[in-house]
């Protein structure tokens, strides 16, 4: 019987790792693995916190009742502030315009889309359009 086999039978650890044993990670490797895990957890928490905790009512479809304009604009503004702050201005405008349908409002939406397209081709920013239209 070899010396190594005698040590294994006596319960002593073998000083030479066998091929099936994996070397233990170094302290540096352990720390890097912990850092990667923590970063992933922080990213997951951040994604879940972005607008998912608070439920905000979406605006009702706005058509032609002028007495509903103020309510529509306020609800749309609150929704944008609570749920869409990280979205581009063009995405925010498009989202609001999804809720503008029918009647006089449809004509206003068409005119706004035309003007925004013209401004975009002239190099003006969409952000200025939002200020001009109180969106």
Express each pLDDT in 62-76 by its tens digit: 887 888 888 989 999
pTM of the full predicted structure? 0.49
Same domain, 51 and 104: no
Q: Is residue 87's pLDDT more than 80?
A: yes
Same domain, 50 and 73: no
Same domain, 84 and 122: yes
Mean of the pLDDT values across residues 78-92? 86
Element (H, E) at 27: helix 27-49
How many residues are listed for the chain in this entry?
135
Same domain, 44 and 76: no
Q: Which residues contact 118 (CB under 8 A, 6 or more apart)?
A: none
Q: Is residue 90 part of a domain?
A: yes
Same domain, 71 and 39: no
Same domain, 81 and 124: yes
Q: Which residues contact 119 (CB under 8 A, 6 or more apart)?
A: 125, 126, 128, 129
Q: Is residue 38 part of a domain?
A: yes
Task: Count the domains in the chain.
Answer: 2
Angle (deg, nearest 10), helices 103-122 and 89-98: 160
Same domain, 73 and 125: yes
The pLDDT mean for the chain works out to 74
Phi, psi angle pair for 62, to nearest 5° = -100, 135
> Across the chain, where does the E strand assignment appear?
none
Range of the domain at 46: 26-55
What pLDDT, on the 0 to 100 scale, is given for residue 85?
Answer: 85
Q: Is residue 45 part of a domain?
A: yes
**44 and 51 Cβ atoms separated by less than 8 Å:** no
Same domain, 121 and 71: yes
Same domain, 81 and 101: yes
Express each pLDDT in 40-52 by its tens digit: 877 776 665 554 5
Q: Which residues contact 73 (CB under 8 A, 6 or more apart)?
A: 134, 135
What pLDDT, on the 0 to 100 scale, is given for residue 49?
Answer: 56
Q: Is residue 113 part of a domain?
A: yes
d(CA 131, CA 79): 17
Q: Is residue 6 part of a domain?
A: no
Express each pLDDT in 123-134 by its tens digit: 655 555 455 555
Comparing 103-107, 118-122, 131-135, the range with the smallest average pLDDT is 131-135
Q: Is residue 60 part of a domain?
A: no
Task: Please give the residue that has the higher pLDDT: either 133 or 100.
Answer: 100
Q: Is residue 21 part of a domain?
A: no
d(CA 83, CA 28): 40
What pLDDT, on the 0 to 100 scale, is given for residue 129?
Answer: 47
């Amino acid at each position: 019987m070899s010396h190594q086999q005698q040590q294994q039978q006596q319960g002593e650890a073998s000083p030479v790792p066998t091929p099936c044993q994996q070397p233990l990670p170094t302290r540096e490797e352990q720390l890097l693995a912990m850092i990667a895990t923590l970063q992933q957890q922080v990213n997951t928490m951040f994604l879940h916190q972005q607008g998912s905790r608070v439920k905000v009512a979406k605006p009702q479809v706005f058509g032609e009742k002028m007495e509903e304009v103020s309510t529509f604009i306020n609800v749309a503004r609150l929704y944008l502030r609570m749920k869409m702050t990280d979205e581009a201005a063009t995405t925010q405008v498009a989202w609001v315009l999804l809720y503008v349908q029918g009647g006089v409002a449809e004509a206003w939406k068409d005119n706004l889309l035309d003007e925004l397209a013209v401004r975009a081709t002239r190099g003006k920013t969409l952000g200025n359009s939002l200020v001009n239209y109180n969106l």
